[in-house]
Structure 1
């Protein structure tokens, strides 16, 4: 990746950083008005509107794998990879309509805390530990690394770039908490979409229009539904496996769900989720299609790609004039910084709320806030320290390390999803499921590594070879079914959960959210979340139902066109 920038481009990037500091400073100053509390720092006072919630959900999700990876995959195989983005729109509806009522109305700060309310403290510690370790080893380090790579491409040394990204992002996250993260995300969404849209439109124009694009590439490039034996995106895996990973990521991961927990009430949290669902229809056009454009231009001899992942930077360097290149680089930095600030804040929330406060329940509000700030600094340093090790890890191994997140997703998705819909499942079933899922997922990872490292592979025709080589989406389906079976069987063989473990946290036991608020939760925030009733006001629900229908039609239209 090598981008040549002019003075105007650097001016645009400088302006971007000034605006980021300005927005973060305003959000920090707003938070500091009055006595500082944990609900202000970690959940922005639970007073955030739906537009900001939705924008932050989208911005937090978009990272380097979207800006570089989606375009690269689009250049090599077409739009099928966009299925994950389209399915995210549907899963966000699930978040808004199914999960949000219980999360917001229960007054929890974290997903592990919710798991404790439904099951046990052991389940809480498991999810907190898995999440914190995963954030440090993958999300934090890879985002810092990507930031260094972006700066290296524009003539700044790798470590200088990494430190700039960490310094700027860490500073406003430490000082302003979630409020600063949310409002900088809101600003960065416009930069992200603007930069990506410029690349898309100029690229299609260079080809001579949409018709010329579709005529320049194989027909399979515009087909989202690939055969069931496709090694990467089989339709069976997309339809049945990807939603399982989606439920884990969009509905149970602190990194994402914390945005909805900051909403004013259930209505704002739900509508924010729906708004994010509409935004998730965009990546197919602004991230994947540029890769297809790059492939088409290469076929015409207008540019050269040494590797598919070069699609976006080569497009930018070849087609965009001075000035617009700065906008795209600012978009890259916006994606990285929004993801990094989000993971900093969510991870520090887990450390503070699920570790420190559990060990020291008498901690004051001021102590909790300062622990959150200190843990953010420590996480930043850990992320930086991990980068040199990550650079020595082979690309294949690092891909496997990333994929392990997909292997821990099915058991977590199972205990949340079944736990909300069926009151009979208990803590014994949940712990058995989480541990068994971890062992089975870890075994798959080990077998993959052995199979990839050994020239002869695993013994041909054996069950272990089949497990190692089965598509990861198909494996997710299998693992989810096993985990649900374990959860149900173990729960039925042991005593049913106590009434307080299901009252208001499962459908059919009471109106969603009629649970006791945590003793540390702000009474005003819980009251605000409850002001419109269990599932929100009727007027908001009617509008949201129509918005939901519109989003479903949008998904159907995309599937119909790209088929």
Structure 2
């Protein structure tokens, strides 16, 4: 399926790229002044830029396509991850931000060293860089290749151009260029998504027609005529993808790791002017995370309804069934007028480039500050910035080396899902050592390393079992471990890692008071940093989340 672009569409895309490089050039003027400017934007970002960058970095092109595809296949349940992100972002702003900013760290591994040990820092830095290169960057490039092929551009040529374009402004501009281009790209994504939603609903005949078609489909699939499963956000415990127990207890664990401890995300709040700006940026991002339900998931449901009415002639069919992940490209091709197609494609490019630039910048920050500077502590600012730029160049080259591997099919779509799931298996121990370390003074470096290693081994075991699950005997313990829902596995792994962390810490010497004074709750909490408007906005966000959960009952 190829999306035909008119000259006006190409002009819109060209304007987008000109704007991106214009913003990047403007914001990169101070990037080379010091390592603090290059890696943390001079610790001078305001709340709006922080919130927009948190949102845009999270929404990759594969995210847009995946949300619409899941909406097409199953309706709104996939939006649970977006809604829970709002809750977790409040935790970032209220619980984690004061520790991170008062400690003065530039990376998450540095914070682990302050709280626990140098070994914990090294572990997290190594795991993070490997995960970025082998999973996040690869999947983003793969999704970008799919988009490029959809508009008739050769996969190889397009991937190289996009990676190079993103790499250039990341290399020269540092985090400030990344954050400000993220902000601009957020608006482009929103504009494209609004266009798809509006024209899709208009073609369908409005919201009532959407609900009627999905209710009929839900009933035909064996559901109750009183409940529309497409708009039922809480699913039964035996649902293979969204069991309510997994969503309620497992999704927050993954969210805690991603939003509160992952360098890829947290680097934005580390660059804030002060604690209040960091907190308000987190709250703002929490509100923004309510929008994907309406802008990215609902269009997928609209595509399903249009398909049912025979209004998506370009929808690919495989083995008699529509390919759900083609929902968004098909909507663009069959529904949108000339000009707006270019806007949506620009939005997909924006999602791709915002995520990719953030990965490049975060990875180079870890390489420079957690490896190079650790072993060369007297390195000058100019030297560190140079190493950061060289690291980004190397990451760009490694990414380009991945392109032929991806294009050849050596990594299948299924294996990509497995690679992504690895992050779900390594996140519970990281979430445990960060969260519990803030509140329990008795926890020490030995306990943290034991917990991290235990989590890694059990996560690797689950990964291996998942790869060979078809050959495992039915009813066996190994088969159960291989097939249990990954959210339920995350809960189990979090409990085990927490137990290991506590028990090993109690059996080994306690940390000194000097070590834990500024990295535990009693040593940092300060009411003077609390603004009334932040409290009000946080309560309002929680109210919005509660209303969404209550409204989406089918």
Corresponding residue for 1:487? Answer: 501
Residue aligned with 1:29, SS: coil
Distance apart, 1:54 and its partner CA: 0.1
Deviations along 1:24-52, one digit per CA (max 9) or x if unpaired, are 010012445xxx11100000000010000
Q: Does 1:511 align with 2:501?
A: no
**Does the alignment pair 1:468 with 2:486?**
no
Deviations 1:348-369 (A, max 9, x none): 0000000000111111111000
In the alignment, is the contact (CA less than 8 A) between 2:30 and 2:37 conserved in 1? no
Q: Which residue of 1 aligns with 2:221?
A: none
Question: In the aligned structure 1, how far is the partner of 2:362 from the partner of 2:411?
Answer: 26
**Which residue of 251, 255, 272 corresponds with 2:264?**
255
Does residue 232 of the first structure (1) align with residue 245 of the second (2)?
Answer: no
1:32-431 aligned at under 5 Å gives the runs 36-217=33-214, 218=218, 219-304=228-313, 305=315, 306=317, 307-390=323-406, 391-431=409-449
Partners of 2:197 and 2:295 within 8 A in 1: yes
Deviations 1:461-488 (A, max 9, x none): 1111111110000000000000000001
Shift of residue 142, structure 1, vs aligned partner: 1.9
Give runs of ≥4 in structure 1 deviating > 3 Å. 534-538
Identify the residue that residue 12 of structure 1 maps to in structure 2.
Answer: 12
CA distance in 1 between counterparts of 2:44 and 2:183 reads 15
- The Cα of 1:146 is off from its aligned counterpart by 2.2
Q: 1:387 deviation in Å?
A: 2.6
Counterpart residue number, 1:439: 457
The C-alpha deviation readout for 1:98-131, integer Å capped at 9, x for no partner, is 0000001111000000000000000000000000
Question: Please, which runs of 5 or more residues in structure 2 have no aligned partner?
Answer: 219-227, 318-322
Cα distance in 1 for residues equivalent to 2:515 and 2:130: 27
Give distance in 2, aligned partners of 1:146 and 1:461: 37
CA distance in structure 2 between the aligned counterparts of 1:30 and 1:127, rounded to whole angstroms: 30
Distance 1:335 1:423 in 2: 41
**Which has the higher mean CA deviation after the structures are superposed, 425-434 or 396-405?**
396-405
SS in 1 for 2:293: helix
1:504 aligned counterpart, secondary structure: coil
CA shift for structure 1 position 511 = 2.6
Q: Once the 2 structures are TM-superposed, how far is the Cα of residue 535 of structure 1 from its aligned partner?
A: 5.5
1:417-452 CA-to-partner distances (Å, cap 9, x unmatched) read: 00011111100100000000000000001001011x
Q: CA deviation at 1:145?
A: 2.5
How many Å apart are 1:495 and its aligned residue?
0.8
Distance 1:562 1:65 in 2: 25
| Corresponding residue of 2:320 | none
Instruction: Measure how far apart 1:394 and its partner are.
Output: 2.2
Residues 164-215 of structure 1 show CA distances to partners (whole Å, capped at 9, x for unaligned) of 1111111111001000001001100100011011101111122221111111
In 1, Cα distance between the equivalents of 2:401 and 2:240?
A: 35
Quote the Cα distance in structure 1 between the aligned partners of 2:458 and 2:138.
Answer: 26
Q: What residue ranges of structure 1 are gaps of 5+ in the alignment?
A: 513-533
After TM superposition, give the deviation of residue 279 of structure 1 in Å.
Answer: 0.3
Alpha-carbon deviation of 1:97?
0.4
Number of residues paired by the alignment? 532
Q: Does structure 2 retain, via aligned residues, the 8 Å contact 1:13–1:326?
A: yes
What is the CA RMSD across the aligned residues, in angstroms? Answer: 1.1
TM-score, length basis structure 2:
0.95
Post-superposition CA distance 1:481-509 (Å, at most 9, x none): 0000000100111111111221021112x
- Report the Cα offset of residue 460 of structure 1: 1.7
Secondary structure at the aligned position of 1:476 is classed as: helix
